[in-house]
Amino acid sequence: MSKTTITIIKCDVGSLAGHHTVPKPLLDIGNKRLNEAQEGGLINSHYVFHAGDDLELLMVHTGGENNPDIHKLAWNTFQEAAKKASSLKLYGAGQDLLKQAFSGNVRGMGPGVAEMEIEERGSDPIVVFAADKTEPGAFNYPLFRVFADPFNTAGLIIDPSMVGGFKFEVLDSIKNEKIVLKCPEEMYELIALIGTPSRNTVSRVWRANDDLICASTSTTRLALIAGKYVGKDDPVSIVRTQRGLPALGEVLVPFMHSYFVEGWMRGSHWGPLMPVGLKDSRCTVFDGPPRIVALGLQVVHGKIASDDEGAPLISDLFEDCAFDMARREAVEYAATLRRMGEFEPARLSSEIMEYTALPKLLEKLKGRFKPA
């Protein structure tokens, strides 16, 4: 049976008025290039959208993960959009295009990627998440809740196909090493690692019984590629749901409350993550608060299920009023944190601030310290 690949590749190519949104001319370039690729048969379906200032290219195809043609399509699309952004003098044009010479894969070049090759089940409901003004570790907490916490996911107790638990791949971005831990047996060790989201990222999740792939998350760390702060990574994630996997509702329930993530203004602050519909996907207050959108879709014979005109059927999941409470919490938490200004814990720890301009600014005090 042929396999289906779901690929999302994202990039900040420039924003209208600061770092808060992607204007229509850039989305139009995304749509134009992906339409052409679909007509030419490279991809079967696509959906172009934005999460804050990040242009998001969702593609469904049968070319497998790390497919050089798919990555090149995304790279060329971002280059063209960045050029357009430059011509309009949009802000931060080409921000995430950190390297110039493309060599077959966008990993390590600035754009973020999440991909998943699957053998389609009888029906395969998928959720695609995209966040702005935060980092890949922002998914650690909800992925843990969804795939390991029985207080979140009733199926871990009730569904016989889930009681074997789930396996988590965790990437240590400093050592560039990965490890697989199985829950429930290694739950404490897993939390010990992923409780440090700035360093350790859940990159993949599989069902333990049969190694069925369930989740895949981007792991790009822009500061580590560039060696300095160049904007937050703004991660994406693909999660499979239902029929022996957490239900759509179990995947979404961690977002009923806001929780804290690293990023926000200048990538230097803790901020409350705010689930929003696509229409509210723009980071305004203190360049935030960090926001996340969630798209629900079905894959069918290598495509996104679409209407009779061929338009993909996409459900804007966080548009629902059931997430109003999380949004209200996020605004309240944001206001509380902002009263603290640049005092920790509102500002990130000094270890993380190493990647910002702060150490250079403090350099000038160096000669003035006396032994105490």
Question: What whole-number distance in Å separates Cα of residue 241 and Cα of residue 201?
Answer: 21
120-139 residues in contact with ligand F6R (CB under 6 A) are 133
Q: Is 333 a catalytic residue?
A: no
- Pairing verdict, β 291-300 and 124-132: antiparallel
Q: Report in angstroms how near the CB of residue 366 gets to ligand F6R at its nearest.
A: 24
Question: What whole-number distance in Å separates Cα of residue 17 and Cα of residue 347?
Answer: 24
278-307 residues in contact with ligand F6R (CB under 6 A) are 287
Comparing CA positions, the residue from 231, 279, 251 lying closest to residue 51 is 279
Q: Is 182 a catalytic residue?
A: no
80-99 residues in contact with ligand F6R (CB under 6 A) are 92
* 269 near ligand F6R, rule: CB under 6 A: no
Q: Please give the sequence-ordered ranges of beta strands (E in DSSP) within 232-343, or none if there are none.
A: 236-240, 260-263, 269-272, 274-275, 291-300, 303-304, 315-316
Question: What whole-number distance in Å separates Cα of residue 362 and Cα of residue 358?
Answer: 6
Which of Mg ion, ligand F6R, none is residue 54 near (CB under 5 to 8 Å by kind)? Answer: Mg ion
Question: What whole-number distance in Å separates Cα of residue 223 and Cα of residue 25?
Answer: 28
* 231 near ligand F6R, rule: CB under 6 A: yes
* 135 near Mg ion, rule: CB under 5 A: no
Size of the site for ligand F6R (CB under 6 A): 10
Could you give the 3-state DSSP secondary structure of residue 156?
helix
For ligand F6R, give the closer residue by CB, 222 or 314. 222
CB-nearest residue to ligand F6R: 287
* Contact with Mg ion (CB under 5 A) among 4, 11, 19, 204: 19
Q: Report in angstroms how near the CB of residue 264 gets to Mg ion at its nearest.
A: 11
Q: Residues 329, 330, 333, 335: is their CA dihedral positive or negative?
A: negative
Question: What whole-number distance in Å separates Cα of residue 238 and Cα of residue 146?
Answer: 13
Contact 183, 148 (CB under 8 A): yes
Contact 179, 169 (CB under 8 A): yes
Which positions ≥6 away from 121 have C-beta within 8 Å?
243
* 18 near ligand F6R, rule: CB under 6 A: yes
* 10 near ligand F6R, rule: CB under 6 A: no
For ligand F6R, give the closer residue by CB, 50 or 204. 50
Size of the site for Mg ion (CB under 5 A): 9
For ligand F6R, give the closer residue by CB, 8 or 93. 93
Q: Report in angstroms how near the CB of residue 266 gets to ligand F6R at its nearest.
A: 4
Comparing CA positions, the residue from 186, 195, 214 lying closest to residue 140 is 195
For Mg ion, give the closer residue by CB, 54 or 115. 54
- Active-site annotation holder among 47, 229, 333, 355: 229
* 12 near Mg ion, rule: CB under 5 A: yes
Categorise residue 169: left if φ over 0, alpha if ψ from -120 to 50, beta otherwise.
Answer: beta
For ligand F6R, give the closer residue by CB, 23 or 312. 23
Which of ligand F6R, Mg ion, none is residue 287 near (CB under 5 to 8 Å by kind)? Answer: ligand F6R
Which of Mg ion, ligand F6R, none is residue 267 near (CB under 5 to 8 Å by kind)? Answer: ligand F6R
Question: What whole-number distance in Å separates Cα of residue 203 and Cα of residue 178?
Answer: 9
* 287 near Mg ion, rule: CB under 5 A: no
Region of 65-73, 100-108, 199-207, 263-271 interacting with ligand F6R (CB under 6 A): 263-271
Which of Mg ion, ligand F6R, none is residue 18 near (CB under 5 to 8 Å by kind)? Answer: ligand F6R
- Pairing verdict, β 291-300 and 274-275: parallel
- Residues assigned a catalytic role: 12, 229, 232
Binding site for ligand F6R (CB under 6 A): 18-19, 92, 133, 231-232, 265-267, 287
